[in-house]
Amino acid sequence: MQINRKLNLYEIEGLYHSMGSDPNVRLPISMSYGGGLGVDASLAQLIISWARSTEQPVLHLYAGAEEADEHIARLAKTIAGFAALIMCGEVHTLNHELIERRQALMAIRPLVEAMFDGDIRNTASRKGARPTAINLFCINNAQREYIKPFYFGPPDPHPRLQPKSWFSSLIESSSALMNKADDRVTLLRAGLPALGSVLWELISNADQHAVTDVKGQKYKKALRGASIKFNKLNREDVLSYSDNEPELARFLLKHFLKQTDVLSFLEISVIDSGPGLARRWLTAKEKRPRESLEALSLQEELEATLECFKKHVTSKPDAETSGMGLHNAVQALNKLKAYVRLRTGRLSLQQAFQGSDQVMDFNPSVWHGKRELAAAEGTVFTICIPVA
């Protein structure tokens, strides 16, 4: 499977149908996306799904053996490249030479250390003086699995998540690196505490439900974390894909100022390589591992997924505050008047929140790009917050 430099969401979804037939993937070190929201996160989820679809996934580099370390380090600055390096079984050069996995992991060690220490400036590629994204991910079974931007306290038996206010400060610090001062003021006015609460709830949910498989066994290869990205779209870009994504287009267009044709927004994606919402929920409900979604209708999968967002509903019985995480996230998204897209299993769901004073339910519409979607591994939430 060869990934082109320019992809949009619809082309990424189309690649799912060829998975399982090719254990090889080749990723460029830089991408020129075809527009849209959450393309980076969608590509990372595709790579996770590809790696789980074959016994020996092989990542191919666009570099020879002498340039391999530099190429790997640059590739890892993209979330799809990072996912591929963590999830693959082997890494090959352009000339089909095998790169030892230890060598590949050593090449990304500075990046992993930056994520662990919270050196957010050095967790993603840059465009000029400013980072274009802040990437923070935990790697299952790594020596530094529990990164400091998310966790604190002793690792045995399990470190604790940082408080919600800490996550608000993390977003503020990330915004300060990526955006100029007036954009940061706008973001603060938009409700930084609520945005920090959303990130905390989603990271907490991934921490509880994405580390292990449906049998309760910790994945040998898995990751979970978030990408915070500053993005811009012009009015023509939005109009060009409004036929396929009318809800997102309406959401974005109403934020355009009359005197400008460019909208700046913060894009936060929370990504995990777990079993997905429906399989995790049904495993807890039926008290037996739900290995696949094949026996379920799409309506049954949708109902199981939406159950996860209801108040006091949980698939983790030993948590004192069980059943509030995703419900609380929805309430915070409503306060922010945010747009959210969720990709899990065979579903892609979207909702634009209006800031209602009432307690909100997650009542999304189905995004499908005019096609039936293949099953994806893991769960991806992508959130859009206009900042100008």
Identify the band that residue 99 occupies on the pLDDT scale cut at 50, 70 and 90.
Answer: very high
To the nearest whole number, what is the mean pLDDT of the chain?
86
Instruction: Pick the closest to residue 345 from 306, 387, 388, 385 (CA basis).
Output: 306
* Angle (deg, nearest 10), helices 39-52 and 79-87: 10
Residues across the chain: 388
Using a 10 angstrom Cβ sphere, with 0-12 exposed, 13-18 middle and 19 or more buried, the burial of residue 308 is: buried
Token readout for 257 is 């100022």
Q: Per-residue pLDDT averaged across 291-296, rounded?
A: 90
- At residue 174, does pLDDT exceed 60? yes
The pTM (predicted TM-score) of the whole model is 0.91
Is it the case that residue 238 has pLDDT exceeding 60? yes
- Looking at per-residue pLDDT, the higher value among 171 and 155 belongs to 171
The predicted pLDDT at position 183 comes to: 60
Q: Quick one: pLDDT band at residue 259, thresholds 50, 70, 90?
A: low
Does position 322 have pLDDT exceeding 50, yes or no? no
Q: DSSP class of residue 121?
A: G
Is residue 34 scored above 80 in pLDDT? no
Instruction: Give pLDDT, residue 262.
Output: 81
The answer, yes or no, to whether residue 138 has pLDDT greater than 80, is yes
